[in-house]
Chain A
Amino acid sequence: MLKNLVHWRAGKFLLNRVSRAGATRCLCTPFKNQTNESAALGDAEPAIRKHVNPFAQTTSTPLPDNEVNESKEERDKRLKVLQLEADIAHQEGRRVPALDFFKEHHWAHVLTLPSKSARIKYYAFLWQIEMKKESEQRKKALRAEGTERRIAEMRKEREENTHIIYGLAHTSMFLRIYDSTINHWQNNRLTRAMQFAPKIVLDCSYDAHMTNREASYAAKQLMLCFAENRAHDEPFDLHYCNANFKGRCMQSLERFIPTMHNPEFPMNVHSECFTKLFPKQQLVYLTPHCREDLVTYNPDDIYIVGAMVDTVNNEPLSLAKAKRLGLRMARLPLDHYLQWGSGSGKSLTLNQMITIMLDIKKTGDWNAALQHVPRRKIIDLGTEQAQGRQALNRRANKLNVRIDHLLKYENNRPESTAFATPQKVRQHKDGLDFNLDSWATGKKKTSRNKCEGGA
C-alpha cells in the first residue's frame, strides 16, 4: 500500500504541473532579490539600500556584518571572551546563569547574536530556565519523602492482596485504546482526503521576514494546523509550499514532527511554489490587507494562507506577493460578522485560520465558523447587554429605586421618559414583607393578604 501511495503522489504532481506558454519569471524567490521592479519604472536609481533585518535568518545571503568565513581561531577567541563576559556578569549577581549551565548549542546561539543587549536578553532567558530548574529540584526534594511513603504503602497493599487486582492497568472492563491506534486511523482518513478533498496551501516563504522567535512560533502553528486538520471530520488536503528546509521555521517543524519527510506520512511538504503545483486561476490568496471579503466558500478554489507570524514586521507582504503573482485575493469577513474589541488586535493564528476554513467548508455558515476566533478579542453584544442590565438592577435594588418602568421601554425610546412616575411612588417589594400569622403556614400570599405600604 505504501508503494502505491508513493507512486500516486508522484503521479499527482505530474498531473498538476501546468505547462505555461511563454516566458514566465519565477516569481517565488524571496523579496530581497527583486530589483526588477524599480527598473521597470524607468528611474535611474543608485544601489537600492537593502532593508536588512539583523535577526532574520537567511541561508543564501549572509548578514553584512558577520563574516561567515571567520576563521576558527577568531571564533574560539570570541567564544572565550563571551564566556568570560557571562562569568563576570554572573559574579556580579546579574541575571546570567552559572557557566556550567551552558551547553554547546547555547554557545552556538550566543555567537550568532548581533549585539550585547541581545546577549543580555538571551542570558536572562537562560537564567530563568536555570532558576525554574533549581526550584523544581527543591520542591521535588521536599515531596520526595512523602512520595516514597505512598509508594511503599501501595506496594504493601498489592502484595497482601491474594485475589485479583481490579484497576485500570490490571483487570478492568475497559479496552485500552492506544494513541498510535488513533493516529493510524486519522492518517488513513488523511490519505483519503489527499485523494478527494479540496486543497489548502500554507505558503512558508516568509522566513526572511521573521525573527528567530517568530519562526519558532510559526513552526508551532504549522504543526497545530496539521493536527487540527487531521482531527477534523472532513479534512483538507493540506500542502506546505515554498518550504526552505534549512531555515529556522522548517527545522523547528521537523523537531515537532520528526517523521515529516517519511514517504508514508500523509503530509505534503514542497520546496516549490504553489504556482508550479496548481493552476493559477484556481488560486485565491487570503490576506488581511485587501478589501474584498470572502463571501462564500468555493470548494473548487485553492486557498492560500501565508505562514507568517507578523508581530514585529507588519508590512503587507502577502498583499504585495499576491499582487505581484497576479492572484485573486480575499480576506475573511471578520468585520461583517464580529464586533472587535480593543483587545489584542485583529490578527489570527494559522491554526485558527485553518479551523475557520474547515468549518466554513463543512457548514457554510460564517457565524459557526467564526466561533474559532478567541472570545477575548471580540465584544459579544448580547452578553454585554445582559451584564449591563444586571449591574443596573443590583444598583437600583441597593438604593431602593424603581427602574423597571424605564427598562421596559428600553428599545422604544420615545415612550420611556424619566419624568413619568410609576403608578406607585414607593412600594414594598412583593413577597418580602413579614406577616406573623401567615408565616410558615404554607398558605400562598394573595393580593388580599399583601399589605401595601404607604408612607
Chain B
Amino acid sequence: MEGGTASSVTIIILLPIFLPYPATPITQLPTIRLLHTVKFPLSDQLLMESSPPSSSPSSSPSMDRVNFRTQVLSRHLHHHPQTTDLLRTAPCLNYSPPELSNPPPNFDTKSLRKLLDGTSVEEIDYIFNLMIQSTLFCPRERGGKVFIAPDFNQSMEQQREMTVKRIEYLRDRGVFEGWFDKKGPEGDLWRFALAESVSVYDHSLGIKLGVHFFLWGGAIRFMGTKRHHDKWYKPTETYEVKGCFAMTELGHGSNVRGIETITRYDASTGEFIINTPCESAQKYWIGGAGNHATHTVVFSQLEINGVNEGVHAFIAQIRDENGNICPNVRIADCGHKIGLNGVDNGRIWFDNLRIPRENLLNSVADVSPDGQYLTEIKDPDQRFAAFLAPLTSGRVTIAASSMNTTKIGLAIAIRYSLSRRAFSIKPNEPEVLLLDYPSHQRRLLPLLAKTYALSFASNYLKMIYVNRTPQTIKTVHVVSSALKAVLTWHCMRTLQECREACGGQGIKTENHVGHLKSEYDVQLTFEGDNNVLMQQISKALLAEFLAAKKRNKPIRGLGLEHLNKPAPIIPTQLTSSTLRTTQFQTDIFCLRERDLLQRFVAEVSQLQAQGESKEHIFTVTYQTAEDLGRAFSDRLILQTYLDVEATVPAGSLKSVLGLMRSMYTTIVMEEDASFLRYGYLSTNNAAVVRKEVLNLCSELRPHALSLVSSLGIPDAFLAPIAFNWVEANAWSSI
C-alpha cells in the first residue's frame, strides 16, 4: 500500500519521547516541552517507506525500535503548530501514510493471507488483474492512486448493461472456460475463487454470475441428467444461453414447498404445461429475468393424474435469441432496489406454457412418456431434501463473499483511523490519531479479530462442502446454515461500524463503507432468511441428541463429541491469563452449548408431554433455540480457529493469531447476554472479561495495520480515504 506525500517538514525535538500505543490512557500522556527546532530533510532514513517489506525479518530489532520511535516522534510533529504568530495561517494538515507511524509487520503478512485464501491466492489475484486493467471497470484516479468501482451514479438500466459487458469481458478472456469440466475439490475451489473475487469489485457482478453459473448451471448439473448436461453445458459456459432460477414467488420465499406454480403433463403431446394460477404464484426477485435471461429453471408443484407429487424443477425458455419474451410468458421488472441495481430482478407469470417432457430435471424423479410418475425415493420429504441438497453451494459463496466485503470495510476504516486525527488532548499538542483512542480501538479491532475467525470458519465450510459425501450432507447443511447467518450478520454490523468510524467520509459512495451496506443487505435474506436458518440448527442438534439417546450411544458429529464428557468446570475467579488459555476458551464455549442444548431438550420434551405438536413447539421455543444456534456457531468457529492455529509453526505469526483468538472469544463473552443470563460467567467474572477487552485492544493496536494489509484486498479495491485523502480532495484534483 503506497501513497502519501509531504513537503519539507520542520521537526521539533521534544522530550520525553512518547509512543502513541499501546493505547496510552489519556490521563497518562506525558507533558511535552519544546526544546529547539531543526530543519529535517524529508529524505531522512529515519522515516520509512509507506510500503514496507512485508516479510523481511528485522536484522537489528533494537535499531528498528530506535528508528521507529523517532518516526513516531516526527510523525506526531508534522502537525505541530510551528509558530505562535496568529497572523500567519496555521500549517496545514499533511496526509501521512499509516506506514510512517506504524511499525513494520513483525510477522509474514503473505503467510497470513495464505491462511485466508489458501490455494486460491493466484486465481483470485488473476481476476483482480483482469478487472484492474480494463476500462470497463471504471478506473478513477484519486489522490495519486487508481481505484476501480462501478459508477453507481448511472441509471439502473445502465448499471445492468455494464454488468453484462463485464461478464462478457471476463468470458472473452477465457475466465469461465472449463466451468463444468473441472472436477473434484479443486474444481469446486476454483469456482468459488472466481465467484468471490468478482464480488470484491461489485456485488451485482457476483450475483449476476452466481445466478447464471451456480443456480442455473448448478440446477442443470445436479438436478439434471446427461441429456441436460449434453444440451446446456456448452451454451451456458459461453453465455449464449443466459440462465436464471425461478424459485421464489410473491407468496412464498423460504418455504419453498409452499409455492403455488403448478405443472401438469399432457401425454397426448408429451409436454408439460406450466401455469401461474394466481397473483401470489408469480415468480418474484428472479435475478436475470428482468432484462437478459433467455432460459430459466422453474420450480413448480407437479401434478400427475390428479396427484400432487411435490416441488420439481423444469427448464423453460423465456426469451428468444433476439431478447423478445416468448409467447405464454409474461415478465415484469422488480424495479429499483436499495442496492444491487446492476442485477435485473424480474417477475414471471406462466400462462399454460408448454415445454417438452425432456425439460423436467429428472435426477430424483421422472415422468414417462405415457404419464407415469417414476421415482426411486418414495418419501416426499427425503426426495425434496435430496433434490435441493446440492444447492448448498449458494450459501457457501454468500458466506465467503460476505467476509471479503467485511475485509474491504475494515481495511478502509482502519487505514483511515491511522491517518485521521481528531482533538488535541492538551492545548498546543497535536491532535490524536483516531485509532489511538481506546474507544475507537474497541469499535474496530474486535471486529477485525472476529473477521479473521469467521474467515477461517468460512474456509472450513468450503472444505466440508467440496469434500462432501452422502454421509456428510447433514453436517454441510447445518454448518452452512449457521455460518451463512452468522457471517452475513457480522458483515452488516461491521460495515455499519466502519461507516460510523469514518465519520462523514463514510457517507460518500466512493468510500464504499456506507454504500456497501445497501449492496450487501440482501445477503441476510436470500438463500434462506438468517433467522429461519438459525432455527434449523437447533432442530438439527435436538434431533442428533435424541437419536444418540435412543440408540444409547455416544453422540457423534457436528463437533458435539464434547457432550459425552463430563461438564467442564469454570474457575470461580477468572484472571487475564486464564481468559487467554485455549482450555478455558474451549471449556466455556462447550459449557454454554451443552447447557443450552439440555435446556432446549427439556423445554421441548416438557411441551411434548403436554401434548403440543412438534410444529407448535418450535414456534414457541425460539428464544432458547436462538441462543443455542449462536452457542453452536461460536463453538464451531473457535474449533476451526484452533485447527488453523495448529498448522502455524511457533513464532510471531502464531502469537498474533493467539491474540486474535483471545479477542474473539472474549468479545463473544462480553457481548452475548447468555453468559450472564445462564450463569456461565458470574457478574465478577463478566467484569474481568470486559476489562480484558480493553487490554486486548491495546495489544492488538500495533498490529492493526499489518493485519489489514494481510487481508489481501488490493489497494485499487479500497477507497480514497484509505490513502491520501487530502490529495484526493484537493482543489487541483477537481
Q: Are the chains A and B members of one assembly?
A: no
Interface, chain A (partner B; CB < 8 A): none
Interface, chain B (partner A; CB < 8 A): none
